[in-house]
Chains A and B, each alone.
Chain A
């Protein structure tokens, strides 16, 4: 164990800071629609041109080939500079690209990875279905091989950003006769292919860009299959490994700056007695100090993930621990913000960020990418080796 910043890392941090100061987008980020896509892609393009895209991705596909620690330094400086987090480029950067790096063919990598880094493509994830959410292996969207193509029929749901996307991580059933986990295939789906229709789903927060996607005889070249036909489960575990392991590092780091804003708010707002600043109230101060400690621990856990990342190619099931912590802690932080706001919390604001919108949006954190219940099951069964529950 050690904590030291190499001169190389220090140098890197200084460069990042200087560049971000001059380049972080100033305009408000749109919450939805093509305007959001344009905003996110423009930011990605700028990072690419500045030489900051794909910090820990291999050089031969347009990345910088640096360490995960340097990637983390980038995120830390981004949070300090109030750079945008997540959004429509999230899937591509945090799990589609990484999945291709580990499981894709040379051709797939050469075609897609540079596009992702250059801000030329938005990806979405087509895993969940109306009747297969937590039970992903129960998915029914069918695909059969016809010559050089897979022909897809069925529907995916809760597909974030589908209406803005060019490509999709699509998980389909190619062998209905095989055991549940066996007959699946992970294929790159062109979202502009004929036979695809998209329905937008309104959310409780007005955020999320959720969609349902319908596939009617959609033809995808077999060359788009990642891994083997009928070998999709293993590829999807790689994807989920990234999604639950390292994908949220930027969000975890960002949460610390959110809490700092809340701290300032607790000094500015009146407390429960209607007179003194909120922070002078014992209960408020207690909550705040606990949250600060938890955020400190979250940061330490992020470094633990980074340490593991240096030793394994794909994050293991232990990623569920930090994912669960982040999800529940973020909800507590926003709930506390709402409590502090008192009567003001009845009102939402048409600006980004807005505490109330963020509070409502955070409800997704314990659902998307695996619910808290499922994460607890995985921690209990795969990490602790407890017997599997009845199912």
Chain B
């Protein structure tokens, strides 16, 4: 049996997360005020972090016997999708993944991670052979999560040296460059690919959220903005663009959650589905963000309209959670008949 639609319990998660984020982190928080400055700084404050921890997201998918709520990866992906919609810090997903890493390794860090006492940020290697990284929202982070291929490692933040802030394309996050000290040993690491896959799934769910939010914003505007005495959504070039965005979002939704259930139910082709989810969700997020700007016309080019937030977040998340190299290997080398048919 297969069901890709949210259960009642899952819908409750969606509603509560969406409600919280709409109140605390609406995308409009990223608009410049009349003085040109934003009301909320980039990254997440310690206070925000505590608020989020109190909602239980960090223990949502951790088994009950280890002190978590025992929910599935799907529940966590639903949280991640809402985070993507509001362009909130990717370090939330990094911390959720680190919790699983600690749980898997039986590390004592788990309790602190679930309670929000330890904060984790993601890092991306500049390129495969480099010891230099981009750190994302790592201010205030205690640990840094690095994924190479599907190999997840959690380092003490102190293992990163020469940290310097750089100008982030996505200016809702704080971006830094840093070197991983030679010979630094991870605090915890995953011998398998379980955590790497989770990181990718959370990331694809965020990308899906971006694609969906860009679509929603564009459709709302196309319905109300009038030119030539009619809503611009009545012009086929705009209507069809919106339709294409809907198609991209639907495909991404289906693939991302199919990958999620494939992973949750231990399907042999889960890696393949996860790689496909990254490609489709990243493509949908980027395409929808670009279309969203175009549909808004002049206002879409300004920072007073939220359309550009989705573009920048699509680029950021596009580099996270499943690197190009791993995707190539996975999608090109795995033969189709290796994948089981649904029974």
The residues of A with any CB-CB pair to B shorter than 8 Å are: 128, 131-135, 138, 157-158, 200-205, 208, 210, 270, 272-275, 338, 342-350, 356, 360, 363-364, 366-368, 371-373, 376-377, 389-391
Contacts and interface: CB of A to CB of B under 8 A. Distances in A.
A138 B227 contact: yes
A367 to B, nearest CB: 6
Interface of B: 32, 36, 124-129, 134, 166-170, 175, 177, 226-230, 232, 234-238, 290, 293-294, 297-298, 300-304, 307-308, 311, 315-316, 319, 324-325, 328
Nearest to A373: B237
A347 B168 contact: yes
Contacts of B236: 389
Contacts of A391: 228-230, 235
Contacts of B237: 373, 376-377
B294 A366 contact: yes
A134 B301 contact: no
A346 B137 CA distance: 13
Contact of A274 (B234, B301, B316, B325): B325
B189 to A, nearest CB: 21
A274 B168 contact: no
A133 B297 contact: yes
A331 to B, nearest CB: 8
B316 to A, nearest CB: 6
A363 B167 contact: no
A338 to B, nearest CB: 7
**Top 5 closest A-B pairs, CB basis?**
A274-B128, A204-B308, A391-B228, A135-B227, A202-B303
A388 to B, nearest CB: 11
Contact of A346 (B170, B232, B293, B311): B170
A206 to B, nearest CB: 8
Contacts of B234: 390
A338, A343, A346, A372: residue with the most chain B Cβ atoms closer than 10 Å = A346
Contacts of B124: 343, 346
B297 A371 contact: yes
B94 to A, nearest CB: 15
A17 B248 CA distance: 50
Contacts of A202: 32, 36, 302-304
A205 B169 CA distance: 9
A18 to B, nearest CB: 39
B127 A348 contact: no
A368 to B, nearest CB: 7
A272 B302 contact: no
B235 A204 contact: no
Contacts of B298: 128, 133, 157-158, 367-368
A346 B127 contact: no
B-side interface mostly: mixed
B293 A343 contact: no
A372 B325 CA distance: 35
B238 A346 contact: no
Given A363-B293, A391-B230, A343 B125 contact: yes
A138 B128 contact: no
A368 B301 CA distance: 10
Nearest to B237: A373
B319 A342 contact: yes
Given A204-B301, A274-B129, A372-B294, 19 more contacts: A132-B227, A133-B298, A135-B228, A202-B32, A204-B307, A270-B127, A274-B128, A274-B325, A275-B129, A343-B126, A343-B134, A346-B124, A347-B166, A350-B167, A363-B293, A363-B308, A367-B294, A373-B235, A389-B235
Contacts of A367: 294, 297-298, 300-301
Contact of A203 (B134, B238, B301): B301
B169 A356 contact: yes
A272 B325 contact: yes
A156 to B, nearest CB: 11
B171 to A, nearest CB: 9
Given A201-B304, A356-B169, A347 B175 contact: yes
B227 A346 contact: no
Given A348-B168, A371-B294, A273 B32 contact: no
A366 B293 CA distance: 10
Nearest to A270: B127
A345 B169 contact: yes
Nearest to B307: A204
A391 B226 CA distance: 11
A134 B168 contact: no
Contacts of A158: 298
12 contacts: A134-B232, A270-B127, A272-B325, A274-B127, A343-B125, A345-B315, A346-B316, A347-B169, A349-B167, A356-B169, A364-B301, A368-B301
A134 B166 CA distance: 38
Contacts of A347: 134, 166-169, 175, 177
B294 A348 contact: no
Contacts of A131: 226
A343 B127 contact: yes
A348 B307 CA distance: 19
Contacts of A270: 127-128
B317 to A, nearest CB: 10
A346 B300 contact: no
A363 B315 CA distance: 15
A131 B297 CA distance: 12
B128 A346 contact: no
B298 to A, nearest CB: 4
